[in-house]
Amino acid sequence: MAEILYHHKKIFYRKSGSGPVVVLLHGFGETGEVWNRQVEELQKHHTLIIPDLPGSGNSYRLDDGAGIDDYADAINTIMNQEAGGAKFHLFGHSMGGYTTMAFVEKFSDRLQTFGLVHSSAFADTKEKVEIRQKGIEFIRDHGGQKFLKSLATNLFSEESLEKNPELVNELVVQARDIDDSTLIQYYQAMIHRPDRSGLLSSAHVPVFFLIGKYDPVVPYDVALKQCHLPDISSVTVLEHSGHLGIWEEADIATDSMVNFLNNFGQPK
């Protein structure tokens, strides 16, 4: 793995393949390994940069008070090292999508395209904030690992759980080294992020959306509301997936990303 320093903290990332650069950001309770099912196909024609966001996987946690904007700045530091002034493609799953939108706000001139994978440009609703606050209380009272185990089961569609129940344990194992303070920092960061849906309306690059029909985190109707905002949108609905369509319907998810990059990914 390669690394950079951001505010004196080591941030690690994986790099593979060759060709135009594609950056893949993972979500809450995940590491860069969440994209493993997409790597083999994408790296055939692209250079993949897959970070562990600060506090996840091998990357160090940032100091208290760090938020989504800090995660976007850390990604920019990676790309200063890896891409120089070249434009690249940025896809984010869930919290990685929130980081993607922060990156769009701060560094839009660096992007050739970007994508929201089971994610949203909207701010949390009042109800969502209350849910996250209860999650923080649960983590403090019972520990992060117990929280992640209870959360993981709810992220998949009923069909996925019936066909592939092992997915739950795979997700829990991936997050086993994320400490409680990091999980709390993530939830606080998500609570305080602003509404960035206006950035979709003003986007001058193609935007990719991957939506799970049974996603409990970014509900289907909410996800659809943002798809018409950019000038150019590519939308794939996974008919059998919850929040982890990149696992639940991995082949379709991967093909949709490949097709998007083939259509809009040629350097200009």
Angle between helix axes 144-153 and 180-192 (nearest 10 degrees) is 60
Q: Per the structure, how many domains does the chain have?
A: 1
Per the confidence metrics, is the pTM higher than 0.75?
A: yes
**pLDDT tops 90 at residue 265:** no
pLDDT given at position 83: 87
pLDDT given at position 85: 81
**pLDDT tops 60 at residue 267:** no
Tens-place pLDDT, residues 214-249: 999 999 999 999 999 999 999 999 999 999 999 999
Which candidate, 6, 192, 207, places its Cα nearest to that of 117? 207
Tens-place pLDDT, residues 37-63: 999 999 999 999 999 999 999 999 999
Measured between alpha carbons, how far is 99 from 265 in angstroms, rounded to an integer? Answer: 21
Residue 247 maps to which CATH number?
3.40.50.1820
How does DSSP classify residue 146? H
Range of the domain at 32: 2-264
pLDDT given at position 44: 96
Angle, CA 24 vertex, CA 131 and CA 44 arms, to 5°: 150
Neighbours of 248 (CB within 10 A): 25
